[in-house]
Structure 1
């Protein structure tokens, strides 16, 4: 495995078996002045959205294109919750809340892509080992990454019922991670499809579904279909 450093995203995207490693995935010195949290926050910080956005971007290149939306959501939780040795421990309650408990086919899918070791079904928390060393020693500590992983489960303000299809949940998460301070938000149509592993037609259908269930008020594409705008 090769890691491309100081290379542009276009070059990495055009080269087989490569992926852009975001800055938050690279080792960085931890701050020495750590202040205790005195109040529970109810709103996500921009850093949490940034970590989820960058991890979605990384996984879009690191995972095979055919990876299912449910497996991508599972991989995101694993990548954000891993320790420095690539070991992930997922409580049963977390997997049940995601409607992924005992979905062994998803673990097999990620193992088939050589992203983690095969998962052995057993009672109690799921413990797996990630083979992708790029996510082992990420810049932010485990606390900030776990908060980002928790926000990704219920990405305000684009909240969905946990029973919603994984494809709908994934595209809603991708949109929530790209929110802007303005009332109207934009993202490249190809970028959105790349993050979710969908074609242009599939992405448009999923956006229509978000409007139908009133998660989005509306969405539209520009004249060249390069950019999608939603509110």
Structure 2
């Protein structure tokens, strides 16, 4: 066991207590005279962590002088182990069912042996509260992978398997927007402005299809939006970065812009599918006829007329079906190039 010979003049342990009161818990600090007012259940933990972090910021100590504080207590805060070793970390510990919280210096070995604890990253304490009047300049967030084109392509493929084969193109577009716009509570809010852009502001049948498929449940809405609860558990596992998903939702909505591809949902969805499956470098797209019909909620026989209309609208320049293997090829047109060319809608 490593012996602790040096002693620091700064006590690197801070403890706060949540004392129950009739109107709610009260925060009491064991190191200072702080005794806050009564807290709501959801705000209690936030305030106590902030108070402990304030103590740690006010009592800084060079890393080479910090020692494992539980060694000072004879390691009574955790079960016995082979001894202290590893870098010193700040450890947040919860005791007595959440009534007592402690922030302390602990070595890596003791931190791993302490139950109901979590190591506090140094970056958390390094970010102090900004002084009054200070304007913080925020860096622009960089989108994370996958990009919008890939997200939309993956969602179209997912709904081809998750929704009944007879689900209409309009319902599939609504499902795509709901999946990309849902929040952490799996709820999605589609404003009537978005629905008008999709030419689906009066698509009551499409919403019924999604309810009958078990994908959504409608919630009380207002005069400005339709709100739904998403019931498909598989959608909860998609990438958690909601700003990137909202970017993809906007990319998809602009991709089948009615001004370019007409006002029918089948034509709009066919345009989005073609753009999503177009290679950015070559401007060419390849897929199977069966795959496009499945993801667009159409039949194979209905695809040629849709593709001809996309050529007329300028979304595609040419398309070709290889009947031997059922392969479909196309080249993107001038009205589809902007979305294909790699631009992320900001």
Structure 1 pair 95–223 and aligned structure 2 pair: CA distance change class (3 A): closer
1:167 aligns to 2:266 (yes or no): yes
Corresponding position of 1:78:
178
Say whether the 8 Å CA contact 1:186–1:230 is kept in structure 2: yes
Where is the strand percentage greater, Structure 1 or Structure 2? 2
Corresponding position of 1:116:
216
Corresponding position of 2:86:
none
* Aligned equivalents of 1:153, 1:129: Cα separation in 2: 21
Structure 1 pair 222–114 and aligned structure 2 pair: CA distance change class (3 A): same
Deviations 1:72-129 (A, max 9, x none): 1011000111122211111221112212124222211110111111466652221110
Corresponding position of 1:199:
299
Cα distance, 1:190 vs structure 2: 1.3
Cα distance, 1:152 vs structure 2: 0.1
* Aligned equivalents of 1:150, 1:226: Cα separation in 2: 32
Greater relative contact order (CA < 8 Å, ≥ 6 in sequence): 1
SS at match of 1:218: strand
Structure 1 pair 56–100 and aligned structure 2 pair: CA distance change class (3 A): same
Structure 1 pair 97–160 and aligned structure 2 pair: CA distance change class (3 A): closer
1:145 aligns to 2:248 (yes or no): no
Say whether the 8 Å CA contact 2:190–2:225 is kept in structure 1: yes
* Aligned equivalents of 2:199, 2:220: Cα separation in 1: 18
Corresponding position of 1:188:
288
* Aligned equivalents of 1:91, 1:198: Cα separation in 2: 27
Residue correspondences, number: 192
Corresponding position of 1:128:
228
Corresponding position of 1:36:
139
* Aligned equivalents of 2:213, 2:141: Cα separation in 1: 42
Which consecutive residues of structure 2, in runs of 5 or more, have no partner in the other structure? 1-122, 124-137, 332-346
Indicate the larger mover: 114-123 or 143-152.
Answer: 114-123
Corresponding position of 1:103:
203
Indicate the larger mover: 74-83 or 203-212.
Answer: 203-212
Which residue among 326, 329, 345 is the counterpart of 1:226?
A: 326
